[in-house]
Amino acid sequence: MNSRWWFYSVLTGASLVFAPLLLLLFAAMLTYPTLPSLETLTDYRPKIPLRVYSVEGHLLGEFGEERRALVTINEVPELMKQAILAAEDDRFYDHGGVDFKSVLRAAYSNFTAGGAKQGASTITMQVARNFFLTNEKRFSRKFNEVLLAFKIEGSLSKDEILQLYINHIYLGQRAYGFSTAAQVYFGKSLQQIDLAEMAILAGLPKAPSAYNPVTNLKRAQLRQTYILRRMHELGYIDAAQYDAALKFPILVKRNGSSEFAIKADFLAEMVRQVVYEQYQEATYTQGIKVYTTIRQKDQVAAHSALRKGVLEYDSRHGYRGPEGFIKLAKGSTDEVLEDALLEVTDSEDLIPGVILEMNAKGIHVYTRGGQIIVVDEEGAKFARPQPGEKVALKRRLRVGSLIRVKQTEKMTWQIVQQPQVEAAFVSGNPKDGAIYSLVGGFDFNRSQFNHITQAWRQPGSSFKPFIYSAALEKGFTPASVINDAPLTDAPMMVDKDGVVTTEAWSPRNFDGTFEGEIRMRRALYMSKNLVSVRILQAITPQYAQDFVTKFGFEAAKHPPYLTMALGAGSVTPLQMLSGYAVFANGGYRVNPYFIQRIEDGNGKILSQAAPVTVGRNAERVLDVRNAFTMVNMMQDVVNHGTAFRATQLGRKDLAGKTGTTSDSMDAWFCGFQSTVVGVAWVGFDTPRSLGEQETGGGAALPIWMDYMATVLKDVPEAVYTMPPGMVAERINEDGLRDPEGTRTEYFYQENLPPLREKSIIESIVDQLF
């Protein structure tokens, strides 16, 4: 009886043990054939974003839901792989896809907790889940995950599985894969990051949001410390590496900073719009690559020059006060300060911070990540009121003030502010229109309005060369004498709600003075408004309106009124680039373009630029003699006139024209050397005066100069050769040919000025001798 009881007891116990196992085995047999094909893994084709490159192949930008950069397992640093294993699955190379010890531990924990509270996913299981399953914590999902892990392990090698994981895992900030995350968080390639940074990245898969170093660096560092400790325990690193990694400063890229080494946000957005128009949603998923005409050296120089120029302008007009105020309770923690700065966007090197203390040593400022910097007296001078100046409370610095700081070249700190003024710069090749650099505004993150293509502004005096060029075709010469004198009650056509009326107009020169009769050359380089108006009167506004279309301007944007002489029409900086290129290339019309070629994800060329090029298929729109004469006169703008400051570059081959509109609302400089044209503009989005003393030569020209100083370094000086059909003659101050004249001037062969009449004495001497 007892033996029979024991038999049934053992049988019952065995049934309780083996029945679930048999049931699981049966379920596995039924489920396994229904598992998804592994073709997604063996033929891995993730969503690859649109990528935009410079002409040298440097990444300028990317667009897509998923930021992703694929790497092979051999390209991944060994320490990076070990950091991942220490964080996620240190027995990865030992188990067959499922770590049963961890599974049993998790199962016991979940059973005692009364629900699915803890997981034991291996890297293989995470690959299965990320590719084929959801994240819901259900037994059925986990069962399928285990079966898929076995299937994956049977089809792929360990390195292939780890490579999929490294490329596919989501790591926050729209970054998929560790290579992309290295760029997003640290602005470095995977091969460039330090062990400490590797540990930060390795901590992200567990909870990308919770351990995001951008939003919660302290929590990310707690996870980092755990991973470094595990790496040390597992023998991946020694004690010295462990200690060094713990001390390594983590510098995370913040919002407003770019993961791209070259700042070209406005150009990249222009590319995106062009590609999307053609490929629609496939733009963001098929790995399309766009190689632009942007040159790294030019773009870096343009971006730096524009920011420097804008900040210099801003500093000339005084401190407007802190951006805000944060009430700090006694003993405010770093978390409080971090939360206060969370909504404040960075603007590259203009770093937001909160004043913690002001004492004799300086102003102590808290910046993101817990860094406290000290601004000395010199660095705070810009924000200090002048002696005797009454300053409103909101403009004063005090504890809790939200300010901006910038590090100087001497590694000290200074108080700065977000500029209100805007600016734009574009440069290109005058021979074929290729855009070399394009900066559409001070900060793309602050405003995506592209001033290069979207801002229709008055060009002011920078438009005068086109009027003068038209005058040359009407018989004027650089030696023509025009009266620089007041012009009162000149008829000015005004369009009021579609009704054109005539009003009296009395234009004046910028400096309010007049020189009387002067040669056309001097009138241009001294930017004499009254002379320009009289020239336009002579050739007629209607003729000039038609003539400027040769340079790419829209006739409708330049009504045929006398105000056209002073640049009262509307242009974009890109149009000005195109217009000045005609002068620089000897009279040919070229069209600006910025895309060299477009490739698909496999490198197949989808489209290739075929620009019109000078000397090959570009259309001549201007007599070469006209172009030469205008270049020569604009060289004098630099050598003797309103752009004299540019002589600091030490070159004789620069030409251009400054532009300042009424009430100094816009400041321009458009200029060139034979190999590159550049256009700089400064102004407010809502037009208002830049300041009484602000001009194109003071606000825009320095930007152009800083750019040219970089890109023309080591470029030989160009020589502009007088073309056939022209002669060089000596002239006097009256613009007449004179063998004894002190100046040399260039003329069309058929349009020479008369010889100076000889005096009676000179005539007698000629007869006698």
> Which positions are catalytic?
88, 461
Q: Judge contact between 602 and 445, C-beta under 8 A.
A: no
Tell the residue number behind the tokens 């503009």, with chain if given: 681
Q: How far apart are CA 744 and CA 735, in angstroms?
A: 10
The stretches of 615-681 forming alpha helices (DSSP H) are 624-639
Measure CA of the first residue to CA of the last residue in the chain; give whole Å: 161
Question: Any idea of the CA torsion for 70, 74, 76, 82, to the nearest 10 degrees?
Answer: 130
How long, in residues, is the chain?
769
Q: How far apart are CA 79 and CA 83, in angstroms?
A: 6
Q: How far apart are CA 616 and CA 599, in angstroms?
A: 26
Q: Judge contact between 715 and 673, C-beta under 8 A.
A: yes
174 burial class (0-12, 13-18, 19+ CB within 10 angstroms)? middle
State how far Cα 413 lies from the chain centre. Answer: 24
CB neighbour list of residue 105: distance below 8 Å, 6 or more residues apart: 120
Q: How far apart are CA 509 and CA 505, in angstroms?
A: 13
DSSP for 112-179, written as a single string = HHTS-------HHHHHHHHHH------HHHHHHHHHHHHHHHHHS-HHHHHHHHHHH-B-STTEESHH
Q: How far is CA 721 from CA 392, 628, 633, 655, 689, in A?
A: 60, 8, 14, 14, 41
Q: How far is CA 265 from CA 366, 443, 445, in A?
A: 29, 9, 9
Phi, psi for 550 (deg, rounded to 5): -60, -30
Q: Judge contact between 190 and 223, C-beta under 8 A.
A: no
Q: Which one, of 457, 466, 515, lies nearest residue 486 by Cα?
A: 515
Angle between helices 464-473 and 529-539 (to 10 degrees): 40
Residue 267, CA atoms < 13 Å, CB-side half-sphere = 37
Q: How far apart are CA 223 and CA 201, in angstroms?
A: 10
Strand spans (E) along 602-675? 605-608, 619-620, 655-660, 666-673
Phi, psi for 679 (deg, rounded to 5): -130, 125
Q: Which one, of 467, 569, 572, lies nearest residue 524 by Cα?
A: 467
Q: How far apart are CA 753 and CA 731, in angstroms?
A: 9
The CA R_g of the chain, rounded to the nearest whole Å, is 35
Beta strand pairing status for 435-439 and 481-484? unpaired
Tell the residue number behind the tokens 């690193």, with chain if given: 237
Q: Which two tokens stand for residue 662?
A: 């009424």
Q: How far apart are CA 642 and CA 650, in angstroms?
A: 16
Q: How far is CA 428 from CA 555, 622, 664, in A?
A: 24, 20, 27
User: For the chain, what is the largest distance between any 2 Cα atoms, rounded to a whole number of angstroms?
Assistant: 163
